[in-house]
Chains A and B, each alone.
Chain A
Amino acid sequence: MIHSHPDKARAFVADDERAHWHDKALWFVRVKRDRGAATVPEWEALRTAAEGIKAHTLSRLGAYLEEFEAKAAANGIQVHWARDGEEHNRIVHGILERHRVSLLVKSKSMLTEELHLNPYLEARGIEVVDTDLGERIVQLAGEPPSHIVMPAIHRKKEEIGELFHEKLGTPKGLSDPTVLTGKARVHLREKFLSAQAGLTGVNFAIAETGGFVVVTNEGNADMGTTLPRVHVASMGIEKVIPRLADLGVFLRLLARSATGQPVSSYTTHFHAPLPGGELHVVIVDSGRSQMLSEAHRRKALSCIRCGACLNTCPVYRRSGGYSYSYLIPGPIGSVLGPHRDLAGHASLPFASSLCGSCTDVCPVKVDLHHQLLVLRQEAGEEKLIPLGKRLGMKAAAFAMARPGLFRAGGRFARWVLRAAPGLARFGPAAVWLRGRELPEAPRESFADLYDRETAGKPEERS
């Protein structure tokens, strides 16, 4: 069955209390973001700078990636290149196999979700533990993340207590976040201490220094890369920035946009392997260079995964992460998914009212709502729009190209609506009428009133 956003969203909305709870939880994060952003007088200038740095980097991405590779290698980092998920997973597995790794601790990485690394490794006998609290919660529940920064935002604390009781053997009925976090910490400490390797994502790779930066709030990436001797970092090709000086622009924007914090709790710079250890960076393409090659898709590669566009999206807040067919939900997912596979995600460009809040909130000025509109045209060209809608638009366009027909049709429709309002339920307005009334149909159109007004005749009230 085709995954359709409207159907999933309808089911989400049907639980009114929960849908409002979800909306409020995320709006709260949006409000915190506003407060954080408001403390920076040069916020808009920072966004413009970030947009410019990304555009520049993407315009010569190959050169910056090679610079990064050379500098990183000189630092003792082993750099690998992967064309796609399969190659990436093979490389990671090879490294782990060489070190006889049976337990890998991971800190949150949307990239490895995208590449399906966990099942790949698990099928080869390696236990993978996600160590970000939210990520661990969804992993225990056997679910994908429902948000890119807060993967378990869709779960209430009582449900997490229940899950921990079931999976970790904690007492029944826990719901205090501090207590639950404490339980998770004990559980995770054990994993950190026994893992033979750690895997992280990469927030920013710096061409100039050959180092990279990982940003977390829980310090789990730091635990996972300092206790085991082997550290593998996976990054998409779009993560590189030219200079260390550019980093400040992004760090000031990232945490504020994500949660409203001035800076994340942990911003860790990696430049070299631990003494006696190994540090690997796997640079992955996986469809990104294709997006780079098409001008109208390129800008989506600027995304720094702050999640602000999800938090602000009135549709995401009211439909939840799982209503989206792509693993990244919300506006940025509705752009990235269809850019990769429009037919597979045909309902996503339409899962937006095009209000533009995402575009205005985005710290790197990805023109999200505009990209959605462009994707809609592509969907139209490729006949991925439901037939009824297409025919309706054709019919409307036919009438609208003929003023006489438009006026006569309008007069007739208004007459029907006045004479037999019940009939509307059987016409094209049926869906509208499910939850709403139609406007009252006036006797005269504006064109009629205009003639009277211009001729100086008094207005007839309708």
Chain B
Amino acid sequence: MGKVGLFIPCYVDQFFPRVGLATLRVLRGLGLEVEYPRDQTCCGQPMYNTGCSREARPLAERFVRLFAGYEAVVAPSASCVSMVKLHYPELLGGTDEVRRLAGRTFDLSEYLVDVVKVTRVEGEYAKKVGLHRSCHGIRELRESSSSERMDAPFDKTRQLVSQLRGIELVELDRPDECCGFGGTFAVTEEAVSCMMGRDRIADHVRAGAEVIAGYDMSCLMHLDGLARRDGTKLPIVHVAEMLEKARLSR
């Protein structure tokens, strides 16, 4: 196997370095050769989602340059991955290089399940966990089935973490409703964004969750910000951190 390029989104690099480290350890723990291209910054998603494709384009171009040489590119963030995978081809024009990169960029869960083909997870996480399934993981990357589509249910993240000893995944009333982060939406539509987030938290609390787990730190950052403001004791955790100490095997 060739090298894996570790893609750590800008805000994860700055605010959630532990999540990046956990991702690195999970991948290295599988015996993979992982490298973090030092010059990476931001994939351009915030600009693109705000309608500033002019500003997004040079960032996307430098991302392609930095990551073109890797066999796979893996990130602990479904939303940023969907930017590269789904939106780079339309933003940059579908050149071979862009398409190739798009096809080889993965969110951590899908990389573990689909590419490495991890089937067994041995480890422990003895808590009641509410799994927050972020929208772009569901409806862009199809890491899990969506409640709208009548497909057979599946969930790659759940498939991994549900094997941890002692874990109890609580049942939510609305299993995949948006938390209201949405990038700059969180600020542009601040009122609705906060209400959406509070409603999600209430659902997790009602279900008995002790912690909210997810694969997208941006959504978790928003939920955590609301919970802390309201004095709700509901810490957040990224799936990479849950898997960091576990033994993953095919």
Contacts and interface: CB of A to CB of B under 8 A. Distances in A.
A438 B225 contact: yes
Given A414-B14, A447-B36, A450-B24, A37 B52 contact: no
B121 interface: no
Contact of A319 (B8, B187, B192): B192
A23 B180 CA distance: 14
A347 to B, nearest CB: 8
A440 B140 CA distance: 29
Nearest to B56: A397
10 contacts: A34-B147, A312-B148, A315-B196, A350-B185, A353-B178, A353-B181, A353-B196, A356-B138, A402-B41, A432-B190
B55 A318 contact: no
B68 interface: no
Contacts of B36: 446-447, 450
A434 B187 CA distance: 10
A357 B215 CA distance: 18
B143 to A, nearest CB: 13
A353 to B, nearest CB: 3
Interface stretch (A3-11, A89-97, A175-183, A210-218): A3-11
Contacts of B44: 397, 400
Nearest to B42: A400
Contacts of A432: 186-187, 190, 225
Contacts of B194: 434-436
Interface stretch (A134-142, A242-250, A376-384): A376-384
B186 A9 contact: no
A44 B15 CA distance: 41
A358 to B, nearest CB: 9
| Minimum-distance CB pairs A-B, first 7 | A353-B182, A380-B51, A436-B225, A356-B139, A376-B51, A355-B178, A446-B20
Given A315-B189, A349-B51, A357 B148 contact: yes
Given A410-B13, A432-B225, A449-B17, A353 B193 contact: yes
A446 B174 CA distance: 34
Given A400-B59, A401-B62, A431-B187, 6 more contacts: A318-B192, A318-B196, A350-B51, A400-B41, A437-B225, A441-B14
Given A393-B50, A431-B187, A436-B229, A406 B10 contact: yes
A19 B13 contact: no
Given A318-B192, A403-B38, A352 B182 contact: yes
Interface in A350-390: 350-357, 359-361, 369, 373, 376-381, 385, 389-390
Interface of B: 6, 8, 10, 12-18, 20-21, 24-25, 36, 38-42, 44, 46-56, 58-59, 62, 87, 135-136, 138-140, 146-151, 174, 176-178, 180-197, 199, 221-222, 224-226, 228-229
B195 A318 contact: yes
A377 B51 contact: yes
A433 B140 CA distance: 29
A294 interface: no
A356 B140 contact: yes
Nearest to B187: A431
A168 interface: no
B144 to A, nearest CB: 12
Nearest to A347: B188
A13 B51 contact: no
Contact of B47 (A314, A359, A393, A441): A393
A436 B46 CA distance: 19
Contact of A350 (B25, B42, B59, B188): B188
A304 B40 CA distance: 45
A397 B178 contact: no
A414 B189 CA distance: 25
A357 B178 CA distance: 8
A6 B8 CA distance: 32
Contacts of B39: 403
B180 to A, nearest CB: 6
B212 to A, nearest CB: 14
A17 interface: no
A27 to B, nearest CB: 7
Given A397-B55, A410-B14, A435 B226 contact: yes
B15 A380 contact: no
A385 B51 contact: yes
A424 B185 CA distance: 19
Nearest to A390: B52
A373 B237 CA distance: 29
Contacts of A381: 51, 53-54
Contact of B50 (A385, A444, A448): A385
A226 B44 CA distance: 59
Contacts of B54: 380-381
Contacts of B62: 401
Contact of B196 (A16, A37, A314): A314
A251 B51 CA distance: 37
Contacts of B46: 393, 396
A14 B189 contact: no
Given A394-B55, A432-B225, A450-B24, A445 B182 contact: no
A441 B15 contact: yes
A287 interface: no
A122 interface: no
Contact of B14 (A10, A23, A315, A445): A445
Nearest to A462: B17
Given A9-B191, A459-B21, A314 B51 contact: no
A43 interface: yes
Contacts of A114: none
Nearest to B220: A439
Contact of A449 (B20, B136, B177, B191): B20
A38 interface: yes
A193 interface: no
B192 A13 contact: yes
Nearest to A410: B14
A399 B62 CA distance: 13
B51 A6 contact: no
B58 A401 contact: yes
A442 B17 contact: yes
B182 A355 contact: yes
Nearest to B90: A374
A40 interface: yes
